[in-house]
Chain A
Amino acid sequence: MRGQAHTVEAFAAAVLVVSGLVFATQAAAVTPLSASTSNQHIENQQQATVEGLLAASADNGNLTEAVLYWNASADNGDGAFVGAPDSGTYATGPPNGFGTDLNETLSSRQIAFNVVVRYPDGDSTDTEPMVRMGEPSDNAVSATRTVGLYNNSKIQNGTSLGDLAADKFYAPDTDSDSQLYAVVEVEVIAWRK
């Protein structure tokens, strides 16, 4: 009659002990089981690294070049970044100085990144994705830098923004009376792969 009563009891006790541990793990905000390969210090370093990269790229003009790296006749006349695949978005750093620096700074350290360009569109803002490597993790960091574009800023084939037809560039002219074309914001979102 007594059969394996002790064994069953031991399994019940084991389940109780393990569920206590699981509960404690779930109750804590961050544990080794959280969906994260990161910690706060590493996030801070990534953020500072990306900010520095944007500062360096803005300093030597690579950032402006990347924002204007546009082929107005690609994608059946809708325009797309030069050399981008059919999706219109690069899967890795763009083929220009900014992209090279992104690859060397982030990809070489196993950090994935997305780059979007945010531009004013009427009363709101819209975004043009430049690089998309995937969905950022919960521990992604981001840094932004603004870039001013002028009517005489030239896209990759040498055409001035002011000479382009209205919808040939992703960002519209914010004020057709002034020399300023638009102020766009480049955002880099980075996370550990």
Chain B
Amino acid sequence: MIEREPDRTVRDRDRGQTMLDFAVAMGVFLVTVLFVLAYAPTMFDPFAGGSGTKLVVADRAATTLSADVLAASTAEPGVLSASCLIAFFGGGDDKCSTGEYLDSNDIPAVTNRNYNVTIHDLNASVDTPATPLDEPDDIELTKSNSGSVPTDVAVATRTVSIEGDPYRLTVRVW
């Protein structure tokens, strides 16, 4: 007759793969918790971009420039006046048709920030300013108050009309 095995061994066999079971369980649970902890912060990423007020500043500056400061008439927002463009981008002491000098580096809505205002062709990059004016024809329509390299930029764009042709006005604020 085969002798009965000791109790301890019998109990171990009853417990099956408890150790393995526990290891798998902890693995599954920890992986899930780590995934949730890693994923939750990314839910808020889309709202963190362009932090602070820069987006609003860029948008407001673009609106003011295209609809008021450079516009031939506030009744026709987006239709820009050549004389105002020369006064604004030319850097000389020309006057805008509204009678204002726009050569200052301060533009509306932007204070204590760096900006770059560029008017470029619809399908051209912002790095290649347009030169749509007939006289003088060498004015590049770009203006900035800073030589620093833009980092973490907020961008606002408008479509504007200069002498009948559409262009893109891009305001970058950083």
Contacts and interface: CB of A to CB of B under 8 A. Distances in A.
Interface of A: 1-7, 9-11, 13-14, 17-18, 21, 25, 28, 30-32, 39, 41, 44-45, 48-53, 55-57, 59-60, 101, 104-105, 108
Given A7-B21, A13-B29, A45 B42 contact: no
Nearest to A40: B55
A101 B59 CA distance: 22
A59 B21 contact: no
16 contacts: A4-B21, A7-B28, A10-B24, A10-B29, A14-B28, A14-B31, A14-B32, A48-B62, A51-B77, A53-B159, A53-B166, A55-B79, A55-B159, A56-B161, A56-B165, A105-B168
A17 B157 contact: no
Given A5-B21, A21-B39, A52-B77, 12 more contacts: A1-B14, A2-B18, A9-B25, A10-B28, A14-B29, A25-B43, A31-B43, A32-B43, A44-B59, A52-B166, A55-B77, A60-B166
Interface centre among B77, B158, B160, B169 (most CB of A within 10 A): B158
Given A14-B28, A17-B33, A101 B122 contact: yes
* Closest 9 pairs between A and B when the two form their complex, measured CB to CB: A52-B159, A56-B161, A10-B25, A6-B25, A104-B122, A55-B78, A14-B32, A60-B164, A56-B166
Interface string B130-169: 0000000000000000000000000111111100111011
B1 interface: no
Contacts, number: 124
B61 to A, nearest CB: 12
Interface in B2-19: 14-18
Contacts of B123: 104, 108
Chain A, interface SS category:
helix
Interface residues of B, number: 50
B24 A7 contact: yes
Contacts of A53: 159, 166
Contact of A17 (B32, B77, B168): B32
A6 B24 contact: yes
B116 to A, nearest CB: 16
Of listed B29, B59, B63, residue having the most chain A CB within 10 A: B29
Contacts of A56: 78-79, 159-161, 165-166
Contact of A51 (B17, B27, B78): B78
Given A45-B59, A56-B166, A105-B168, A10 B26 contact: yes
Nearest to A105: B122
A106 to B, nearest CB: 9
A32 B39 CA distance: 11
Contacts of A5: 21
